[in-house]
Structure 1
């Protein structure tokens, strides 16, 4: 039996929603009656997902398309301003935009990659939350940050990525403690395990190695498979629901198919 959520009248802004987890999340919110904002750097990809959102919306609500780079503060400001101008408010902020690069500490370009990862995975999340607080306070809304089990365990030559996600988890806890009493805003994080998306397929590895790793990881996971974008979208919807998760804040919810428990 599938759970059904009702986000009618809500406005959900999902960063990094032109593909993968973000796209699946935007579509689920649309299917559940929300007005959604689809954003990413590729205009064609944004338009494609926005159409999919409109198609599954019970009332055929038009998804808002905003093309921009979340590492650019001007683009962040434009994203928020356009959302409020269009829908009048923000109820749910999903900080999903992310990047990852394979890099060893002694690589000559390590600091360049480290800086870009921190700007994308952590700084943009902090900035978007900072700028959205006035609007979320008015709606007693909530924030869901997409972290990773990389915040909890070591991954080979992914130190920058792991560090950024550990920062996401601590930022989530700090914001929950600060924004709850002050503005009645809930803040939670989700820590996915291995999820098959364009993101996890982008580590500059040959396709055959990626395909092999999917099979091998799935066999090791206690649930018998790796994750799909919809798995994480379902978790986002749960945390966003005041009815289902109204008592949850400051939670870093692990959705990893048993990865950490089984020491995969």
Structure 2
């Protein structure tokens, strides 16, 4: 896939959940566009693999910062921020991409445990990282991009924690855009993907990647665009929103990058 490149030379981009999927594609696109990137996730092998890919595509072969950690743990989040600033001296772009889902019926005996885990991953970590990155983003007049989901717009049976977390993320995005723009000159936006060929369903539904791809391909075939999303589709949208030159007038936007999922009421 040919990706539109923006010039992020000299910028520092921190992308959570960047050891695979959308986060990995986003890290690689920023690296290819000249940025210093922070690759982070729980899987050390995945982090190392993506970091090498970023170096390979970087015009100046810049080496990413690799941080293995869990964004549901506040100490890990703080270490991620501290290490980034110690290494690169600043933060220009925060991409809150890490997320998870679980099948969770309200009648399940462990519903509240699933609910807490999903909220901690999909919402609380985003709030915490945005809060803690604020001083650095204010200095660079940076921007934040949150990765939401069409589930923020549509109810899923046995998916209420996931839907709630993403709907809350959309509202957090708007609130932060309104709050951080006037005083700190920080833009805050979100992207709402449709189904994308990643591993999220593998972990959420306890199925194989082959089964996940078959399921998402079937859904994507119903899209007006005729296919499911690829991680690079969302990475391109992230780069667009992160570019002050291309999207400097956009803040508080929840950008649909869903192949027509919502428009066609899939």
Per the TM alignment, residue 2 of structure 1 is displaced from its structure 2 partner at its CA by: 4.7
Alpha-carbon distance in structure 1 between the residues aligned to 2:15 and 2:210? 32
Number of corresponding residues: 264
How far apart, in 1, do the equivalents of 2:68 and 2:210 lie?
Answer: 32
Q: Cα deviations across residues 51-110 of structure 1 (Å, max 9, x unaligned)? A: 110111000000000011101111001000000000000000000111100111101111
Name 1:258's counterpart in structure 2.
260
Q: Output the aligned Cα RMSD.
A: 1.2
User: What is the DSSP-based 3-state SS (H/G/I as helix, E as strand, rest coil) of the residue aligned with 1:220?
Assistant: coil
Aligned to 2:121: 120
TM-score, normalising length: structure 2: 0.97
Q: Aligned-pair distance for 1:157?
A: 1.0
Q: d(CA) in 2 for partners of 1:208 and 1:60?
A: 34
Which portions of structure 1, spanning 4 or more consecutive aligned residues, are displaced by more than 6 angstroms?
A: none
Q: Distance in 1 between matches of 2:38 and 2:99?
A: 17
SS at structure 2 position matched to 1:191: strand
Shift of residue 204 of structure 1?
1.4
Deviation at 1:213, TM superposition (A): 1.8
3-state SS in 2 of match to 1:117:
helix
User: Residue 241 in 1 paired to residue 246 in 2?
Assistant: no
1:19 to partner: Cα distance: 0.4
Displacement after TM superposition at 1:212 (Å): 3.6
Partner Cα separation in structure 1 for residue 212 and residue 135 of structure 2: 43
Q: Is 2:112 the counterpart of 1:100?
A: no
Residues of 1 paired with 2:36 and 2:58: CA distance?
Answer: 9
Matches within 5 A, 1:44-123: 44-123=45-124
Gaps of 5+ in 2: none
CA distance in 2, matches of 1:206, 1:56: 30
Look up the SS of the partner of 1:45 in the other structure: helix
**Structure 2: how far apart are the matches of 1:144 and 1:119?**
18
Deviation at 1:200, TM superposition (A): 2.7
How is 1:222-237 mapped onto 2 (pairs within 5 angstroms)? 222-237=224-239
Q: Report the Cα offset of residue 205 of structure 1.
A: 3.1
- Say if 2:65 is the partner of 1:43: no
Query: Tell me, what secondary structure is at the counterpart of 1:194?
Result: coil
Is 1:145 the counterpart of 2:119? The answer is: no
Post-superposition shift, 1:211? 4.2
Task: Tell me, in whole angstroms, the C-alpha distance in 2 between the residues paired with 1:60 and 1:213.
Answer: 37
The alpha carbon displacement at 1:210 in A equals 3.0
TM-score w.r.t. the length of structure 1 is 0.97
